[in-house]
Amino acid sequence: MTAALSVIIPSPAADAAHDAAHETLARFRHGAYSVPCDTCHAPAGMLCRSRRAVCIERRVAYREQHQAVTLVPLLVGRAR
Ligand SMILES: [Zn+2]
């Protein structure tokens, strides 16, 4: 959504907002930034080398880990 906005209305403020959004996600290890990147060797909580982008392998690793983390509590809750 933010990327599309910066394409429609290019401005330094939109660029700064987009950069800040990625930096905030990385700082709090949210989403794909919660796992390290095997492609550009960025540790968890750090940005990938490419600006405003996350490597594909990092997204895949996050999705696999996220599914594993959320699946277990559901199964434990039903077993009780
Ligand atoms: Zn990366």
Compute, in angstroms, the gap from residue 74 CA to the centroid of ligand 1: 31
Compute, in angstroms, the gap from residue 26 CA to the centroid of ligand 1: 12
Flag residues of the chain having pLDDT under 70. Answer: 1-7, 68-80
pLDDT, mean over the chain: 83
State the DSSP string of 4-33.
HHHHHS--HHHHHHHHHHHHHHHHTT-GGG
Q: Residue 70 has what pLDDT?
A: 63
Compute, in angstroms, the gap from residue 9 CA to the centroid of ligand 1: 27
Q: Residue 71 has what pLDDT?
A: 62
Compute, in angstroms, the gap from residue 29 CA to the centroid of ligand 1: 14
Question: Residue 50 has what DSSP assignment?
Answer: S
Alpha-carbon torsion 47, 50, 51, 57, what sign? negative
Output the six-digit token pair for 44.
């968890």
What confidence tens digit (pLDDT) does each residue in 33-45 have? Answer: 999 999 999 999 9
Q: Residue 80 has what pLDDT?
A: 47
**C-beta of residue 59 within 8 angstroms of C-beta of residue 39:** no
